[in-house]
Structure 1
Amino acid sequence: MSKIAVTLSNAPKPAGPYSHGVVANGFLYTAGFGPQDPATGQVVPGGVAEQTRQVLRNIGAVLAEYELTFDDVVKVTAHLEDLADFAEYNVAYAEFFTEPYPVRTTVGSRLANILVEIDVVAAIPQG
């Protein structure tokens, strides 16, 4: 199996020894992204909707590296600090995805000073 690390200058710097994403076996797997502004490294102000949009913009930068879009995403895992924020998160999420939707798991998690973290798996078209 070949594994190619994806590291970008236009995405928030990883907080540890990991890549922004990895390409393996025809899929792009992203790291879990938080709502940091890549230019400042700071968490964007606002509630869960604003943070969700920033997280998905960060993920979009990784997808774009392989000329992928959110239409290529097949799986999403999202962590919310407070599951009571689900409806607001879901509205912002829906701005980025269209049918057929990827599968999605959303769980409540203790997060470090952020309201949402998301990672995705995208299929790389063959041919």
Structure 2
Amino acid sequence: MKRKKFVYVVVAVAAAGVTGVAQTKQVVAPPGLQIAGIPFSPGVKAGDLYHIAGTMGTDSGGRIVAGGIEAQTKKALENIGTILKAGSMSYKDVVSTNVYLRDMRDFDAMNKVYREVFKTNPPVRATTEADLMLRGGLIEISAIAARPDLERRYINPQGWSTNPLPYSRGIAVGDHIFLAGLVSQNPQTGDALNGDIKVQTKQILENAKILAEAAGFKMSDMVWSRVWLTDPRDFQDMNDIYRTYFGEIPPTRATTRAALASPAYSVEIMLWGVKGPKQR
């Protein structure tokens, strides 16, 4: 019997002044990609964006595939491809990913497989080390895709070096901007900029500001942020710099401890913005 994908449509009503505005959310759950007993949706389309859950290298029975990091990365990306296709999108529509590795020493091997899928104009990305929930799992990848009819621009300001890793530093699509997980680098050379947490945070946010402005956005347009610190004791010093960049209404944020791709870095920051004024 042919297995069918399941699509659920939910209509949410939001208030806009005194007028109700209906927004449709489409929940996409291809067979074999919703692990029994775990309450999550594999994919949800809402507005311009398609949100894809953290996806691991599992087979149709929810078991982690054998073969190590390369096999698991390949399978995780294949599973994401299945979710994208079920939502009438493809890899080229992906604008942002988060990669979680059980062991950061798998970074190079993961990239070898990852770049075969995202060969040109890859999405922005952040890669951090994390404890994963499925036994034997080495990698988990979440993603955001944007409607294929929306114009997108891949942002690499004049004079900046080309990124040798398979991700874009910034992508503007419609009214949204996505910035990669940025670390403390000289953007002209790509070299690590050494310094304490305040120096590194300032360099990251200066680079973010240049990327945003190159795409016609402002730092005050940012609505979502993730900050990863290698040492939680740096939290307050990071905040001292961070608070100076976003005006009176900073973006939402989560800050956690994580191992980063290089020991040269103490902090990584990822941002997502939407053009337009904010209101309290």
Task: Calculate the TM-score normalised by the size of structure 2.
Answer: 0.43
| 1:26-105 map, 5 Å | 26-38=48-60, 40-105=61-126
Structure 1 residue runs of 5 or longer lacking an equivalent are none
- Structure 1 residue aligned with 2:148: 125
CA contact (8 A) 1:26 1:124 kept: yes
Q: Structure 1 76/92 Cα, relative in aligned 2: closer, same or farther at 3 Å?
A: same
- Structure 2 residue aligned with 1:9: 31
- Cα distance per residue 1:47-83 (max 9 Å; x no partner): 1111000000110000001221111100010100000
RMSD of aligned Cα (Å): 1.6
Q: Structure 1 4/11 Cα, relative in aligned 2: closer, same or farther at 3 Å?
A: same
What fraction of aligned residue pairs are identical, expressed as a percent? 34
Q: Measure the CA separation in 1 of the matches of 2:38 and 2:146.
A: 26
Bigger relative contact order, structure 1 or 2, given CA contacts below 8 A and separation 6+? Answer: 1
Q: Secondary structure at the match of 2:114?
A: helix
Q: Measure the CA separation in 2 of the matches of 1:12 and 1:43.
A: 13
CA contact (8 A) 1:74 1:102 kept: yes
Moved over 3 A (4+): none
Q: Measure the CA separation in 2 of the matches of 1:7 and 1:56.
A: 16
Higher strand share: 2
Structure 2 residue runs of 5 or longer lacking an equivalent are 1-22, 151-280
Instruction: State the structure with more CA Rg.
Output: 2
Deviation, 1:14, is 5.4
Deviation, 1:10, is 4.4
